[in-house]
Amino acid sequence: MTSASSSSTHADPAANSFQVDLRGLVDLLSHHLYSSPRVYVRELLQNAVDAVTARQALDPEAEIRIRLSATAGRVTIEDSGIGLTAAEAHSLLATIGRSSKRGGDHGLETTRREFLGQFGIGLLACFVVARQIRVITRSARDPQAAPVEWLATDDGSYTVRELPEDARREPGTTVILQARPGAEEWTVPAKVEQLARDYGSLLPYDITFTEGESGGEGSGGGEPRGITDRPAVWDRPFPTPAARRVALAGHCAQLFGFTPLDSIDLDLPVAGVRGVAYVLPEPTSPAHRAGHRVHLKGMLLTDHADNLLPDWAFFVRAVIDTDTLRPTASRENLYDDETLSAVREALGARVRAWLAELAASEPERLAAFLSVHHLGVKSLARHDAELLGLMLPWLPFETSEGSMSLQEFTAAHNEIHFTRTVEEFRQIAPIAAAHGLGVINAGYTYDADLLALLPTVRPDLKVTELDAGAVTERLDPVATSAELALAPFLSTARTRLEAQGCDVVLRAFQPVSVPALYLDDRQARQERDRTAALDSADSLWSGILGALRGSAPRARLVLNHNNPLIRRISALPDEALTGTAVESLYGQALLMSQRPLRPADSTLLNRAFLGLLEWATHSTDSQEGQK
């Protein structure tokens, strides 16, 4: 009894079906799944193409016909496809989630791979613009079946009825949309034609568009215009490579709105991908994710796929056609799975191969590319070892011998010095060039990081930051007798600049017009910062910082013995005037280096300037007094 009671208590409940609010579903589609109502044209084309594909599988000799037409408020598409019976119309057109293209349904599994539709949403997507959808269809699989009308409205109701034999004589389907209030703009003929061309230009069947009603004589429709434009421009034969480049450039201008620097073929037969990548003619940020144009079996899937190419290929916009990549549920982007990851890597390899080919055989074209995109390439090369090895030798840098690639620069210099600031480079570059010292300006974005990585690509090269000692060693020494003769002058100069943490040395260098050169390096700057901190620290920190005093070299003021002004100053008999002149030389060299002035430097400049004015006016007063 207990068992019987238990069985009675837990009897299986009756099965129930979900009730779907069509208005709510349409709102979900239009506001959350699809980016725009424009996708309804894609759904119409997709269903027509899939129907024709199924008809071809059933009867390869059948006529192929897809006709699209539009008037204000009404859109019609007619195809000579497989058609439907009344039972199929009930089952397929009004059942959400079911697709006639799924393997095993209605004997179409042999052509499943050729279909565009995959998610079974079907005509319901057209309700984003339609208040009523009317379908007139006749089955090609069942010649005895009568034509069928399926009529649905956006309140969620539909009817199916058989029509007289002459309602549709040939197998196929006609779909008629009536626009709902507020959506009429999407059914304007010019808009429908533009959307059809955008979505369907690469579809495998000829599709025509007519402004007005289509459907034969007396319809009043205009002249049919072709929608499809096959084969794709990258698959067409051309008499010469130059003619092909011109055609691709025109295609890019029409599609993306710019004339490309170059084009790169993206041909992956194994992956079912064909297309082309266009190189942008203007600089763009590596952080900008370009939108690529992807066709799925000829139908435009998206024109803003940002996961098709590797991030480092920011300098191209691609357009491809594929039959292997999976779309997302909205069919407006690519599903990021293992297949897409493999295709992305393979497409990236094609772009790398293009760069390698330019580097190997067409340096002029590579130079043109890098003149536009070098900053972005430099940014990514810091984190991409393969791209670094490929591009670093060809990237342009500002050097003491002019702007050139590292390939050219390292041909003359096995040891490379670089400066971390533009100002430091501009001060030292003329002198370095005159004395055979190879210096690169690493003051621009990413350059210092790349130079630090250069030995990983070229282990034979030594790369070091420029320091005052390296420059001083390259300058010509002054004869010992001459330096001894100028010892009092040099002693006065060193005493005057001791407070600035600057040494004074005498050298002979070119150009002669430069009287003094201020040399500084990172170690010297760190030592000055440590000294400044020591001066302002309390007793505890003073002891700690004092213990950390190192033997780092200080900044140097290099006086040019070849310069006539230096010779005249060194011969001045007045020690005070000599000191003021040295301070003026220090200030002028510091200003030429364009470094920020410390308070002590500003004080020195003011003192030297006023001292020279006082000396000049005092000399004038003395001369007038003698008169």
| 367, containing H or E segment | helix 363-381
| 130, containing H or E segment | strand 130-138
Q: Which of 135, 109, 146, 131 is nearest to 48 (CA)?
A: 135
DSSP 334: B
With H, G, I as helix, E, B as strand and everything else as coil, classify residue 619. helix
- 446-485 pLDDT, tens per residue? 888 888 888 888 888 888 887 767 777 778 899 989 889 9
Q: Has residue 618 got a pLDDT over 80?
A: no
Q: Which of 557, 572, 471 is nearest to 515 (CA)?
A: 557
Please state the rounded mean pLDDT for residues 378-384: 81
Q: What is the pLDDT of residue 25?
A: 61
As a whole-number percent, the residues of the chain with pLDDT over 90 amount to 35
Q: Which of 114, 487, 527, 508 is nearest to 324 (CA)?
A: 114
Helix runs in 186-240, H state only: 189-200
Here the contacts of 478-484 (C-beta below 8 Å, separation 24 or greater) are 478/506, 478/507, 478/508, 478/561, 482/561
Q: Has residue 615 got a pLDDT over 70?
A: yes
Pairing of strands 555-560, 502-508: parallel
Cis bond before residue 430 (omega within 30° of 0):
no
Q: 77: which strand partners?
A: 68, 175
Greater confidence, 183 or 94?
183
Q: Has residue 103 got a pLDDT over 60?
A: no
Q: What is the pLDDT of residue 526?
A: 53
> pLDDT band at 608, cuts 50/70/90?
confident
Contact call for residues 363 and 329 (beta carbons, < 8 A): no
Contact call for residues 583 and 497 (beta carbons, < 8 A): yes
Q: Has residue 393 got a pLDDT over 60?
A: yes
Please state the rounded mean pLDDT for residues 149-157: 85
Inter-helix orientation angle 599-626/575-592, to 10°:
130
Q: Has residue 102 got a pLDDT over 90?
A: no
> pLDDT band at 2, cuts 50/70/90?
very low
446 contacts: CB under 8 Å, gap ≥ 6: 375, 378, 379, 382
Greater confidence, 308 or 8?
308
Please state the rounded mean pLDDT for residues 486-501: 90
Q: What is the pLDDT of residue 215?
A: 47
Q: How far apart are CA 215 and CA 218, in angstroms?
A: 9
Q: How far apart are CA 106 and CA 120, in angstroms?
A: 15
Place of tokens 């006023």: 610
Token code pair at residue 133:
């959808």
> pLDDT band at 426, cuts 50/70/90?
confident
Q: How far apart are CA 123 and CA 46, in angstroms?
A: 10
Q: What is the pLDDT of residue 381?
A: 83
- 292-306 pLDDT, tens per residue? 999 999 999 888 888
Q: Which of 401, 477, 469, 470 is nearest to 434 (CA)?
A: 401
- 507-555 pLDDT, tens per residue? 998 888 889 988 876 655 555 555 555 455 455 544 544 444 444 557 8
Q: How far apart are CA 285 and CA 462, in angstroms?
A: 31
Q: What average pLDDT does the structure give for the chain?
A: 81
> pLDDT band at 384, cuts 50/70/90?
confident
As a whole-number percent, the residues of the chain with pLDDT over 70 amount to 81
Q: Has residue 621 got a pLDDT over 90?
A: no
- 336-370 pLDDT, tens per residue? 889 999 999 999 999 988 988 888 888 888 888 99
Contact call for residues 500 and 557 (beta carbons, < 8 A): no
- 36-77 pLDDT, tens per residue? 788 899 989 999 999 999 999 999 999 999 999 999 899 999
- 312-326 pLDDT, tens per residue? 888 999 999 998 888
Greater confidence, 425 or 8?
425
Q: How far apart are CA 470 and CA 474, in angstroms?
A: 7
